[in-house]
Each structure stands twice: as C-alpha cells, then as structure tokens.
Amino acid sequence: MNAIRIGLIGTGYMGKAHAIAFQTAAAVFPLSRQIICEMVADITPEQAESQAKLLGFHRSTGDWHDIINDPDIDVVDICAPNHLHKEMALAAIAAGKHVYSEKPLALNAQDAMEMTLAAEQAGIKTLVGFNYTKNPTIQLAKEIIERGEIGEVVHFRGTFNEDYLADANTPFSWRLKRQFSGSGTLGDMGSHIINMAHYLVAPITQVCADLQTVHNTRQIADKPGEVGVVENDDQVHMMVRFTNGAIGTLESSRIAWGRKNGLWLEVTGTKGTLVYDQERLSELQLYTATDASNRQGFRRILTGPEHPDYRHFCVSAGHGLGYNDMKAVEIRDLVEGIAQDAPLWPDFRAACAVNAVCDAVELSHKESRWVSINND
C-alpha cells in the first residue's frame, strides 16, 4: 500500500476539521504513506459534490454505503451524528477497512464494546478523535508526570465548559435528543476531560455524579410556537477515583457563558502541580516543591520546537498551535499506525473505556450513589 485512500462520511464542523487535517498532515509531517482524499459522502448528492470540491476530495456520493463498498477506500472516516457511528463502523470493519471515528464512539458502552471487539477480531486499525491529547503541551505534561517531576499523582481536577447552548433562545437540534446524541454535554465535552484524565493519570474506577438540564425546552427552528423537549444534560459534575489511588473532580457544561473552549485541568502530585488551560493551549504552568523556598511559584512553560511534534509546525517557541494542528497530529498517528502496523491511541478500546465512565455517571445520577467501573 503506497497510499492511504480516505472516505469521509459527513462534512459538517468535524468533517471539515478532518479534511483540513488531512491536507495539513501531508504538508507538515514526513509521512510513510501518501494521503489521498478519495471520496466524501453527505446527505444529498448535491451537497456531497459541493463539499468534495471545497474540501479537496476526488469523488462524492449521497450514500455512505458507497464508501464502504468501494474497494479503493482504505480508511472510513466517520464524522456523522453519534447514533450512526455504530452502524457505519461495523459496516466498514466487515468490509476490511480501517476506521477513524469522531467521539463519542457510541451512544453507550455496550455498543462501543461491540464495535471494539469487531475491530479487534478483524485486525482493523481504529482511532477516535480525542485530539486534545495530541497537543504538544499535553504530551509535555504527560512526560513530566511520567518522569516523576511532580511526584506521585494524588488528585486530578478537570473541566470542559462552553457556552454554545447558554442562550435559552438557541434553537432545538439533534444533539438534544437521546435517540441521536445519547447524553448531552457529558458525551459531547465531558468525554474529552474523561479521556484526558485517563491519559494523564489512570483509568477511572468509581464515580459519584450529578446531571442537570437547565433549559428543558427549546424553540424548533422555522416552526414558530413549536418547542422540542431537551432530553439530555446541560451540565454534569462528578467525583472520581482512579485505579492508581488518586481521586479527582470533573465537570462539563454547555451553558457556561463566556467559556469558548474551556478545557482546563490541574494535576496535583506529592512534589508539585501542573495546570493547563485549553484557551492558552501552548502554555503549561508547573510548580515544583523541590525549588528553593524563596524561589517557589508557578512558572510558565511555552511549548516550542524542543517539545513533541511542535517543531514540525514552527521553528520558534511561543507562537502557539491551534485546534486543527492537533487534528493533523492525529492524522499523522493514523497514517503511521497503518503504515507501520503500530498500535494507535486512543483506539476503540480506549474510547469504549470513556463510554463506560459516561454510562456509570448516568447510573450514579439516577440512583444517587457511587458506581464502580469494570476496566477489564
């Protein structure tokens, strides 16, 4: 295989981000295989054709099954609404194609595990779009933790808050129906901070959580006087316990005015603390208790070419990377994982672990108790 041919399903916000990343990765990284943006599928042939021209794909279709059935397609890239992930992924796996899917992987852990086992049994490479862990700053944080520079991790505090549904007048959408989206901010953004906690600390083993829907109905666009009932959560917070003995708190909200990409985290160890803010995504705050007492304090580290992956984008520190750059790193991992037959992370199994935590959160809220998670 001298080239990897991509079939993209869905050209909305995430589909466009993936398409940009395919082009960027090819320009930035010395890839082992050429990326060919072969075919795009959307809800109508006309929409697909228009988006193919815009996003740089050779062919288009109004039926995603055409991508599955095309023998020239190597990777099926799923950027469709959540409820379609399972059907599309299982079809791609059955056709012997690698799968790159947006998060959340599925509507629940049971479906996610079915997808995981199918891929593993077929020997298919999988990757899920938790791209925030691909940030060189977060990779640096993980390196600092693994080197023991802040000692043994004892606490994780993380949030992912945005305000895209803070306005009660924002119209109803598919994201607010459990049939199509599953959970609300829990699966949409909370899944990111759960995955980040797994990446930096350890698997979550127990949760005690609370969910709330603040805006219970929303106006249906273009239908004056008609409202849709919101079926999932606007905000969630949880206490968690990790397999390594650490504890923590996680929260997410889609109604937090003023928060645009409010992924924020703090990792506390026995010898120091790390603080990261996604809205300042090329900065890391580090406190180490081993410094002289008259020199102690948080110091700001600006990521630069000496940090993982940054040098491929820019030769100077402090210039900063962006959201689409992290997607490009994700694409690099996908291509090299396929080309070198190397493990990918986060794969379906890692994403399934996130789904398991989300399910436990909903059960904890429903029954007002701590819920354990099986990490086997």
For 273-296, write each residue's pLDDT tens digit.
Answer: 999 999 999 999 999 999 898 999
Chain centroid to CA 31: 23
- Predicted local confidence at residue 284, as pLDDT: 97
Whether residue 376 has pLDDT greater than 80: no
Do 184 and 127 lie in one domain? The reply is no
Do 118 and 85 share a structural domain? yes
| Cα dihedral: 80, 22, 200, 213 (round 10) | -30
Indicate which CATH number applies to the domain containing 98. 3.40.50.720
Last residue of a domain, one of 131, 158, 174: 131
Q: What is the CATH number of the domain that holds 208?
A: 3.30.360.10
101 plus 195 within the same structural domain: no
Q: What is residue 308's predicted lDDT score, i.e. its pLDDT?
A: 85
**Domain boundary residue among 103, 131, 159?**
131
pLDDT in tens, 217-229: 999 998 888 999 9
pLDDT in tens, 15-60: 999 999 999 999 999 999 999 999 999 999 999 999 999 999 999 9
Which one is predicted more confidently, 130 or 222? 130
Mean pLDDT of 204-231: 96
Say yes or no: 202 and 299 in one domain.
yes
Q: Does residue 372 sit within a domain? A: no
Percent of the chain with pLDDT over 70: 100
Number of structural domains, the chain?
2
pLDDT for the residue numbered 149:
97
As a whole number of angstroms, the distance between CA 178 and CA 96 comes to 30
pLDDT in tens, 85-103: 999 999 999 999 999 999 9
State whether 150 and 287 are in the same domain.
yes
- Same structural domain, 124 and 166: no
Residue 243 burial class via C-beta count within 10 angstroms: exposed 0-12, middle 13-18, buried 19 and up:
middle
Query: What is the extent of the structural domain holding 97?
Result: 3-131
Give the dihedral sign, CA 55/60/61/66.
negative
Is residue 374 in some structural domain?
no
Q: Are residues 149 and 189 in the same domain?
A: yes
d(CA 180, CA 174): 6
Q: Alpha helix locations (H) across the chain?
A: 13-28, 45-55, 65-69, 85-94, 109-122, 136-146, 178-181, 185, 191-200, 323-339, 348-367
Number of Cβ within 10 Å of residue 276's Cβ equals: 24
Of the candidates 91, 112, 131, which is a domain's last residue?
131
User: Residues 140, 214: one domain?
Assistant: yes
pLDDT of residue 53: 97
Taking the alpha carbons at both ends of the chain, their separation in whole angstroms is 35
In a domain, 266, yes or no: yes
Per-residue pLDDT, averaged over 335-339, amounts to 98
> Which pLDDT score is estimated for 226?
94
Residue 270: predicted pLDDT: 98
Q: Both 52 and 151 in a single domain?
A: no
Q: Is residue 298 part of a domain?
A: yes
pLDDT band for 1, please (50, 70, 90 cuts): low
- Contact assessment for residue 283 and residue 138, using Cβ atoms and an 8 Å cutoff: no
Is 130:352 a contact under the CB 8 Å cutoff?
no
115 and 154 together in one domain: no
Neighbouring CB atoms inside 10 A of 275's CB total 18
Q: Is there a domain that residue 69 lies in? A: yes
Q: Are residues 287 and 361 in the same domain?
A: yes
pLDDT band for 352, please (50, 70, 90 cuts).
very high
Q: What is the pLDDT of residue 374?
A: 87
79 lies in some domain = yes
Q: Which SS3 state, helix, strand or coil, does residue 283 take? A: strand
Q: What is the pTM of this model?
A: 0.97
Average pLDDT for the chain = 97
Indicate the residue type of 333: D
In a domain, 375, yes or no: no
Residues 8 and 126 in one domain: yes
pLDDT of res. 209: 98
* Structure confidence at residue 54 (pLDDT): 97
Domain for residue 373, yes or no?
no
